[in-house]
Structure 1
Amino acid sequence: MEMTNAQRLILSNQYKMMTMLDPTNAERYRRLQTIIERGYGLQMRELDREFGELMEETCRTIIDIMEMYHALHVSWTNLKDTQAIDERRVTFLGFDAATEARYLGYVRFMVNIEGRYTHFDAGTHGFNAQTPMWEKYQRMLNVWHACPRQYHLSANEINQIINA
């Protein structure tokens, strides 16, 4: 991230104010203030991640993934025999914090800030699946989109989706 000295000074002051306004995260803000003031290039890349951009198409795909899991769970609930499929298989796990942090951040934003899919269980890791999920979800979406009744899935269709 390239910044002028004036931009760095302004951002440094913002972090200083945040330290006072949000004492629970003060240490984090002090660290970021130091990075900005001293211009540590490697650590400034963290700001690129924080201020990064998630394209509209990616956001729509993530919402589609979450909607697919909503449909899976609704369909599973409506099955006569739910014992055939473990409920955990139709529960949205989220994304990997290490490799898919932007996707994970968007999921948390959608649930915690936007108030959508609040019925999803964030688990103890807050939707951190702890393994990369993007490719798996893409395969699942392809199968789900091919189903004629996406919100009234049969046990066979549910199995095809979760095993994609």
Structure 2
Amino acid sequence: MNNLDKKDRIILINQYKILAALDTDDRSHYKELIEILENGYSVFYNLIDQWVGDDMPSEEGRFVLNVLDLYRAIEDLKRSTKDSRINSHPYSFFRGFDGNNETEYMGFCRFLIETQGKFQEQKPYLLKNDNLNSHTPMTPKYLRMLRKRAELNIDFSLTPEEAIQILDA
């Protein structure tokens, strides 16, 4: 945030005055932001929005949803089959995303599972996958798995053979 017109500054000043009155623990922080805005110290405008992340592109969000949908299908298959090739496969459970290199994806997964309550079949794995942090980049693997699923022309239900092909991708 580099430029704010006076109208935007007035709106933000009023918001921060309200917050300063309501949140006594952070009152000094809000007063600092008010002073920055009142005086137009644009060099410090980045303090106003530093806690707001950049937009996640829709295609990236769709990628995460597709990966979780694929793992939902794998979980459904695991419940209906006792095929040891699937249950013992190293990628038979969702490993999450790398906290250092795929942080935005990992955060989105946590939002979907913990905040929105979606993909609850993943909750039992949160200890096994370190709360969705794979500690290694997983995007290339998931892309191969999704490509294999598309190549096999599978919407949801998987056979054990299809699942093995996808997991081995």
Cα deviations by residue, 1:107-138 (Å, 9 ceiling, x for unpaired)? 11111122110120352332111111111110
- Output the amino acid matched with 1:130: H
Aligned-residue RMSD, C-alpha: 3.8
> Which runs of no fewer than 5 residues in structure 2 stay unpaired?
none
Cα deviations by residue, 1:43-96 (Å, 9 ceiling, x for unpaired)? 88954xx42111112211211100001111211332243366416521111111
Q: Is the Cα–Cα contact under 8 Å of residues 92 and 120 in structure 1 kept in the other structure?
A: yes
Q: 1:46 to 1:136 in 2, by over 3 A?
A: farther
Query: CA separation in 1, counterparts of 2:117 and 2:71?
Result: 16
Q: Is the Cα–Cα contact under 8 Å of residues 67 and 146 in structure 2 kept in the other structure?
A: yes
**1:54 corresponds to:** 56
**1:118 corresponds to:** 120
The answer to whether structure 1 residue 108 and structure 2 residue 110 are counterparts is yes
Scaled by the length of structure 1, the TM-score of the pair is 0.69
- The total of aligned residue pairs comes to 155
Q: Is the Cα–Cα contact under 8 Å of residues 89 and 162 in structure 1 kept in the other structure?
A: yes
CA offset at residue 145 of structure 1?
2.0
* Match runs of 1:76-155 below 5 Å: 76-82=78-84, 85-86=87-88, 89-121=91-123, 122-124=125-127, 125-149=130-154, 150-154=156-160
- Output the amino acid matched with 1:116: K
Q: 1:42 to 1:163 in 2, by over 3 A?
A: farther
Q: 1:113 to 1:81 in 2, by over 3 A?
A: same
**1:163 corresponds to:** 168
Structure 1 segments (4+ residues) deviating >4 Å? 3-9, 20-23, 37-46
**1:74 corresponds to:** 76
- Output the amino acid matched with 1:135: P
3-state SS of the aligned residue for 1:89? coil
Query: Highest Rg: 1 or 2?
Result: 2
